[in-house]
Amino acid sequence: MPTPPPTGPLVTRDALAGQLSELGVRSGETLLVHSSLSALGWVCGGSVAVVQGLLDALGPDGTLVVPTQTGDLSDPAVWSNPPVPEDWWPTIRATMPAYDPLVTPSRGVGVIPETVRTWPGALRSAHPQTSFAAIGPRAHAVLDGHAVDCRLGEHSPLARLEALHARVLLLGAGYDTCTSFHLAEYRTPAPRVKVGRPGPDGWEVVTEVSITSDRFDELGYDFERDTGVVVRGRVGAAEARLFPVADAVRYAERWLSLHRSHEDVPGNALGGDPAPARRSRGRRT
């Protein structure tokens, strides 16, 4: 049976850049992008054209930032999609390659971040499970100092983005992908968990804040309704949302303190899944 033709819309680099500018993306700003290529329609040039369009809209003085998480660098004991046999766990822990920012591929965040990661001149932060990549003049300022024991807190690129007055672009992606909300989790009382991962000297276990993206969709829609700071529009076929990191974090701090108890945060929330915005090991967008 022949494959049916694509339904479109047909999206080009120039169209993306123009629609991003119409949405409100400003030349010279710093932009954290969460994205879904498939939501955009039929993009001529695929993820490369999307990155080109984003860089065109940001201009030479702008900085593009994306999550390049590696949730598979985690303890096989907590894998669930799919799980692996228990008798494999010791071998996996003993042989799993450690994180290398130059070669370790991102996982579960989509093809656009992976394209940014491999872009000429791109930089990547140091955390072995929740790294970010960036292109542009403020890439060092955003990425430097990402502590290996601070996934998404005060010593992560999220806090740098907040300080730099960066904005978030949800490009065909939902609020469940909004990593900025995790910075708020670090600022509200939360349990701590043991997280296993491969390290440069072998298997290691670190203590971290327990975080989860459960209820982030609910949080996001309340944030949008209550604050009025979210700009909505369409880019290609995708729904797009644009808003300041600082406003999202500030609102999430209040919302989480009111709506989430410690019982809502799984004991191994990110020990069980080190890619907080993608709760399934195999999920991609």
Over residues 61-119, the pLDDT tens digits come to: 999 999 999 999 999 999 988 899 999 999 999 999 999 999 999 999 999 999 999 99
Helix (H) or strand (E) holding 244: strand 238-244
Residue 271 has pLDDT above 90, yes or no: no
Give the pLDDT confidence score for residue 2 in this predicted structure.
Answer: 76
Q: Which range (88-92, 206-210, 247-251) has the least confidence? A: 206-210
On whether the pTM is more than 0.75, the answer is: yes
Task: Provide the total of helices (H) and of strands (E) in the chain, helices listed first.
Answer: 9, 11
Q: Which range (77-86, 145-154, 246-255, 258-267) has the least confidence? A: 258-267
Q: How many other CB atoms are there within 10 angstroms of residue 15's CB atom?
A: 18
Rounded distance between C-alpha atoms, residue 283 and residue 285, angstroms? 7
Residue 153 has pLDDT above 80, yes or no: yes
Residue 284 has pLDDT above 70, yes or no: no
Residue 45: both structure tokens together: 């040039």
Q: What's the whole-number mean pLDDT along residues 197-222? A: 94
CA angle 19, 21, 25 (to 5 degrees): 120
In DSSP notation, 198-242 reads EETTEEEEEEEE----TTHHHHHHHHHHHH---EEEEETTEEEEE
Q: Which residues contact 163 (CB under 8 A, 6 or more apart)?
A: none
Computed over every residue of the chain, the mean pLDDT equals 91
Contact between residue 116 and residue 125 where contact means Cβ atoms under 8 Å apart = no
Residue 264 has pLDDT above 70, yes or no: no
Residue 268 has pLDDT above 50, yes or no: no
The per-residue pLDDT for range 1-11, each reduced to its tens digit, is 677 777 779 99
Give the whole-number percent of the chain exceeding pLDDT 90.
84
The per-residue pLDDT for range 167-200, each reduced to its tens digit, is 999 999 999 999 999 999 999 988 899 999 999 9
Residue 155: both structure tokens together: 């010593």
Three-state SS at 183: helix
Give the pLDDT confidence score for residue 265 in this predicted structure.
Answer: 52
